Amino acid sequence: RKFALDGFEPPELVHDASTYGGYSGGPVFGFDELRVKALHYWGDPRVGNRAISATALQRHEYLGKLLRQAERG
């Protein structure tokens, strides 16, 4: 099975920030800086939370273009 973010290191992160239902798309920040490291998309209190890494999103052929356009305003 192929995914849009295959080949990016790491495409997915596991994080332990508490979330509520409906928080998908919320930013995941790093410990050492106020910089978005990933976007939360799924969580389960038994197995942890999942997020797509910012690096994978920036390197994606289509999403990367959209992010660069948004940065320019």
Residues in CB range of 5: below 8 A, 6 or more apart? 11, 12, 52, 56, 57, 60
DSSP 34: S
Mean pLDDT, 10 residues at a time, over the chain (73 residues)?
Answer: 51 78 84 84 86 87 88 82
Question: What is the reported pLDDT for 63?
Answer: 86
pTM: predicted TM-score of the whole model, two decimal places: 0.69
Question: What is the reported pLDDT for 72?
Answer: 87
Q: With contact defined as beta carbons under 8 Å apart, do 5 and 56 qualify?
A: yes
Question: What is the reported pLDDT for 55?
Answer: 86
